Amino acid sequence: MSKPIDPAAAARKPAARRVLAASGFTLSALAAAVALALSATPALGDAQPGGNRHSGQYIFRFDTFGDEQLWTSVLRMHEVIPAAVSPATALAVGLKVDATALPRNFLAKHDLNDPKTTVELLRRNAVVGVVGKVKGRRLVSVGITCALCHSTVDNSVAPGVGRRLDGWPNLDLNPGAIIALSPALPEEVKAVYNSWGPGRYDPRFNIDGINGPLVIPPAYGLAGVPFETFTGDGPISYWNNYVAVTQMGGHGSFSDPRLGISIEQTPDLVTPKLPALLAYQLRQPAPRPPEGSVNAGAAQRGAALFNGTARCGTCHIAPTYTDVQNGPDADTPLLHDAAETGMDPGYARRTATGRYRTTPLRALWQHPPYFHDGSAPTLGAVVDHYDTHFALGLTPEQKADLVEFLKSL
């Protein structure tokens, strides 16, 4: 097992030195542990710890890939949580609680302003995306899972507490503010993390030292879209591997000469699990818009505009609403220069491809803001951007109809 790198030193490395040490340095996750849990009746699912550890659902929800080597050994989050992170604090920074993992009347029996309650929530595997090992009353290790950023809850018990919604981006999560709690980080690095804000994370900062956070994307509706990253760097499992090793700090191997990254760790706790993880992700459907939230007549007019005057359908090709698969072969994505669509080229320059893929449109009603950098706060702003960039000359009524159609996808 390779020794985890010093995260403070990694954050200060110049962009030219991008070969990571074994564990990588992650920004993506949670130092804090949990959140408020109100009265909830236990109804444990089949993927709770102790279930089928080889299933995609278990891997997505509970497998840390051995990333305790980073979150515990390097970032020392097992010290931070019992000292300073109460459930109320954790909830305030966007952590979610799986109500089905808790007994009835949990709230009435525990102090939500006491970090000891956070440790108890971790003991019960109730914190979505955070796995803690507790011995006696002592938290001895902390790790994170895919669900941290790519799951939320339905708020059926209280805000931030309910049943899991796997694949939904946790846009309340403030990864930067949480990771900045680590005593291993110098103040100048903490300032970068604290600048990100809720729902944003930079998956390249620990590699190139550039601060440019992205919106946390959904992990549902992936079926039929093999290049599901903003820049189409590789198939879905490529990105799962990249994140697990270089961002989460998992004990695995990842190599991409285009990025100058070569990490090899034995045993590899990531690669063998990628097929099952992918299969589970592909089963997550995009959620339909709430009943009554879309004007059907306006959406129908918007659909005609989308495929006609507005020319959106030229690149957003149904049924996946992307042209990324229209490349020369199945292994080569069709990508676009930033200037083609008026995007900021900054993030693309930091990636393996240097270009952007056409975003597949699904459940747009659920995850504002839009574009990779969150620069469009609403669907109306998205339409305005393209109306200006392509000089479409849309009327206010046409723009409104387009928004209704986009909400319906």
pLDDT at 131 over 50: yes
In Å, how far are 322, 349, 392 from 297, measured between CA atoms? 24, 41, 22
Whether the predicted pLDDT of 387 surpasses 90: yes
Q: How far apart are CA 291 and CA 100, in angstroms?
A: 26
Report d(CA 27, CA 202) in Å as an integer: 7
pLDDT tens per residue, range 173-188: 999 999 999 999 999 9
Q: How far apart are CA 368 and CA 203, in angstroms?
A: 19
**For residues 34 and 132, is the Cβ–Cβ distance under 8 A?**
no
Q: What is the pLDDT of residue 17?
A: 34
Q: Which CATH superfamily is domain 296-323+358-408 in?
A: Cytochrome c-like domain (1.10.760.10)
Give residue-wise pLDDT tens across range 72-113: 999 999 999 999 999 999 999 999 999 999 998 887 789 999
pLDDT single digits (tens) 18-73:
323 333 333 233 222 222 222 333 333 334 576 788 899 999 999 999 999 999 99
Helix (H, G, I), strand (E, B) or coil at 116: helix
Q: What is the pLDDT of residues 301-313, one digit of tens each?
A: 999 999 999 999 9
For the chain, the structural domain boundaries read 56-283, 296-323+358-408
Angle subtended at Cα 61 by Cα 271 and Cα 71, rounded to the nearest 5 degrees:
75
Residues 363-376, buried b or exposed e (16+ Cβ, 10 A)? bbbbbbbbbbbbeb
